[in-house]
Amino acid sequence: RFSVCSPSSYRLNPITSMATGSGSLVWFRKGLRVHDNPALEYATKGSEFLYPVFVIDPHYMEPDPSAFSPGSSRAGVNRIRFLLESLKDLDSSLKKLGSRLLVL
């Protein structure tokens, strides 16, 4: 188990700022949280700047050909809603640390 990093241990800067020094891109995939996040914790130890990114897989938004109702996406409305709420929460957590989540 990884310890929770205090906000002062993160040196996050928004992508819009001009950064000099080392930086790391943190690709969020399934662990959409700041606390207990090994990748984020590791990146903070060796970088002055972090660039948090989440990529929405278009495959989940495409219609599912085997769905009961035509036009239904593969993920379903509730799952997509949960993902968007989770991304909003992650962005709020990162915002408190001085950064923002880039969603592609």
Output b/e per residue, 50-89; b: 16+ Cβ within 10 A.
bbbebeeeeeeeeeeeeeeeeeeebbeeeeeeeeeeebee
- 1, part of any domain: no
pLDDT digits (tens, 9 = 90+) for 52-95: 999 998 877 777 777 777 666 777 788 889 999 999 999 999 99
The residue-averaged pLDDT of 6-18 equals: 45
CA distance 61 to 83: 12
pLDDT digits (tens, 9 = 90+) for 17-62: 455 567 889 999 988 999 888 888 888 887 888 899 999 988 777 7
pTM over 0.75: no
**Residue 58 pLDDT:** 85
Is the pLDDT at 2 greater than 60? The verdict is: no
Q: Which domain holds residue 12?
A: 7-103
CATH, residue 14: 3.40.50.620
Residues in the chain: 104
- 29, part of any domain: yes
Contact in structure between 39 and 29 (CB atoms under 8 Å)? no
Task: List the single range of 2-6, 25-29, 96-100 with lowest mean pLDDT.
Answer: 2-6
- 69, part of any domain: yes
- 76, part of any domain: yes
**Residue 71 pLDDT:** 63
What are the structure tokens assigned to 56, written together?
Answer: 């929405």
CA distance 54 to 93: 14
- 26, part of any domain: yes
What are the structure tokens assigned to 87, written together?
Answer: 């991304």
- 18, part of any domain: yes
Instruction: Please tell me the total count of domains within the chain.
Output: 1
Contact in structure between 49 and 99 (CB atoms under 8 Å)? no
What single-letter DSSP state applies at residue 102? E
- 11, part of any domain: yes
- 53, part of any domain: yes
